[in-house]
Structure 1
Amino acid sequence: MRILQIIDSLEAGGAERMAVNYANALANEMAFSGLVISRKEGPLLNQLNSNVSYLFLNKKSVIDIQSVMKLRKFVIQNTVEIIHAHSTSFFLAFLLKLTYPTVKLIWHDHYGDSEFLSKRPSLALKFVLPFFNGIIAVNQNLKNWAEQKLHFKNVVYLPNFPSDENNASEQTILQGIQGKRIVSLANFRVQKNHFLLLEVAKKIKISHPEWTFHLVGKDFEDEYSKQIRALILDFNLEDIVFVYGSRNDIKNILEQSTIGILTSQSEGLPVALLEYGLYEKPVVVSNVGEIPLVIQDGINGFSVETNSGQLFYDSLVKLIENDSLRLHFGKELQKTIEKKYSKKTVLDQYSNWIALCI
């Protein structure tokens, strides 16, 4: 098969990581694997394998005919059979279909606010999805929504999978003391709820002042970001909370980290959690989205009620004060990831489903 991934940008978000992960993985499995970026390149470009065909469209507007024709030419030249459109790139895939009807379309729904699907706009999707052959949902809520709200029949739930690719050139050096670092891999978005994380950090500073927090993720320099930075100052956390922005060298960062945390108020299946597990990090995470299917509370990590700063704090303290528990949780979570969320496991399901779509 000949499959092309399409996504809007290569910023270091979960959907973007998965577009790159699929393109890289399929390059070793399929006759052709490609990746098209419609609007903006970014740091994840360095993670793309050399055997993946790549095109940047530099799309300027929602309906950019020049970009559509450029994409069409690329698809024809590479005899692409299937377009795998991630997130909001579904509309570009639809426009391509109008100009090149023989290509098959698949939409990959990475919607992060899956706890609030009742508020999700659906008009555009209902208009274009009749042109698609299938939908991939990153959690069961999204699968149910596509079937019940969009009345789409061919929907499959496929979990995200982590990548152990290590092509990153930058080498981030974390502040703080080795063995006493708590890392959060989360872009600065409202759903990630960094405010709760800072509330927890405020308590940890009092009880365990040598432990530090490391926030790794895209900073959009918006109002949310300003509020985070203001709280760090208001809470006097400058000496224990460090902000790094978007980074490529996740493996390197996690090797320097001790505990992984996610304080999200909504999630699909966060790639960050899978990466924590891949590198044997014990975790404290919110019990939202697909996370409870990954984390068995008290067995391979702590999964706690979202928005409960006290539960996050209590769980972190248990890990901070118990070396053997950290080691046990890390190993158990890695086993879970390898068994249910490995690249091979997901790609086998993907290939079988794709065959039915064409």
Structure 2
Amino acid sequence: MKIKILYLGNKLAKHGYNKTTIETLGPALEQEDYVVYYSSDKKMFFFRLMDMVKAVFLYRNKVDYVLIDTYSTKAFWYALFSSQVARLLKLKYIPILHGGNLPQRLKNNPYLSRLIFQNAYKNVAPSAYLQNAFEAFGYSNIVPIANAISIKEYAFLERISFEPKLLWVRAFAAIYNPKMAVDVLLSLKQKYPNASLTMVGPEKDGSLQTTKEYAQSKGVTINFTGQLPKEAWLKLATEHNIFINTTHFDNAPVSVMEAMALGVPVVSTNVGGIPYLIQDELDGFLVGDNQATEMVDKIIKLITNPTANRVMVKKARKKMELLDWKIIKHQWRNLLK
């Protein structure tokens, strides 16, 4: 008999947002012969919350597990309410821990956190960062399962040189600090006047407009593409040589993993789960949070040492090959018995 799953998360790609795990892991599980039901694709916060709670009730007698994509900011409340309904209905629910700032949530809201995570069947940690943080707060029901990619979708491109053609891929939200990318370009242009920056991603909290206005005030031109289909940004990656990640908080961002798989060297802020994904100057570069000057210095080092960096990007690719779905799927099978 097939195992049936209710998957709760932000299924919002049809509204112009980036795909989240529900829209990648869910179909991957379906291909492994699981039956997966989904909620929610409602755009407004309240209606999405109600849709998730309703789905738990409606599917209570049909599913074996409830998977819940769990974040640290406003979407935390989806996990809280839906998990407690599942708990009352005696359903096995599994939060999948995504929020890079979840450790702060554990500290600031210990009671609410225990309601969700202590009563869960298991909590899936995609990074050692969150696994360690949760275990430090006394949670023992943590299962490490990394975010997965289908490595065959990412053609590795070996670059001869690393001209300063920068690529940034993320939703435009304050927690991802897109204005730092503008500062990086502005500073980099002092040494490399032909330096360029493309920023890919949808609006989330008004940061897209704010970043455009900030760039204009600084007199720099940036290529803002808006939301792009995955195939389009993968093609765009072949035209760029350096991937920058400017976030304040993070866990194990798939866009960074994808860049590593493609052979685009990554320069990222050293926050949250990033140092568990990237080893500084081994398979990428790390800088302090909001340290634009430090990021520029690392980019210059990358540009001026092409031979060493070709070795680095190959190591990054090898690391991503270990996170291929063909490998990670066995861990999900062990969990969803």
SS in 1 for 2:240: coil
Corresponding position: 1:232 with 2:215: yes
Q: Which residues in structure 2 correspond to 1:1-358 (within 5 Å)?
A: 1-11=3-13, 16-37=19-40, 39-40=42-43, 60=47, 62=49, 64=50, 68-70=53-55, 72-74=57-59, 76=61, 79-87=62-70, 88=76, 89-94=78-83, 96-97=85-86, 100-101=89-90, 103-114=91-102, 116-117=104-105, 120-129=108-117, 131-149=119-137, 151-163=138-150, 181-222=165-206, 224-238=207-221, 241-249=222-230, 250-339=233-322, 341-355=323-337
Q: Deviations over 1:206-250 (max 9, x none)?
A: 21122211111221252x444322220121112xx2222222223
State the partner residue of 1:169.
none
Q: CA contact under 8 A between 1:139 and 1:289: conserved in structure 2?
A: no
Q: CA contact under 8 A between 2:163 and 2:303: conserved in structure 1?
A: no
Aligned residues: 317
Q: Distance in 2 between matches of 1:38 and 1:161?
A: 22
Q: CA contact under 8 A between 1:115 and 1:289: conserved in structure 2?
A: no
Q: Distance in 2 between matches of 1:273 and 1:30?
A: 29
Q: Distance in 1 between matches of 2:102 and 2:128?
A: 9
Aligned-pair identity in percent equals: 20
Decide whether aligned partners of structure 1 residues 343 and 235 sit closer, same or farther in structure 2, where only a CA change above 3 A counts. Answer: same
Q: Which structure 1 residue ranges, 5 or more long, are not aligned? A: 42-57, 167-177
State the partner residue of 1:46.
none
Deviates more, 1:30-39 or 1:265-274: 30-39
Opposite residue 198 of structure 1, the aligned amino acid is: V
Give the superposition deviation at 1:28: 2.1
Deviates more, 1:181-190 or 1:25-34: 25-34
Opposite residue 228 of structure 1, the aligned amino acid is: T
State the partner residue of 1:171.
none
State the partner residue of 1:44.
none
Q: Distance in 1 between matches of 2:94 and 2:187?
A: 46
Decide whether aligned partners of structure 1 residues 221 and 3 sit closer, same or farther in structure 2, where only a CA change above 3 A counts. Answer: closer
Q: Distance in 2 between matches of 1:113 and 1:130?
A: 18
Q: Tell me how large the CA RMSD over aligned residues is.
A: 3.1
Decide whether aligned partners of structure 1 residues 182 and 75 sit closer, same or farther in structure 2, where only a CA change above 3 A counts. Answer: farther
SS in 2 for 1:187: coil
SS in 2 for 1:196: helix
Q: CA contact under 8 A between 1:113 and 1:191: conserved in structure 2?
A: no
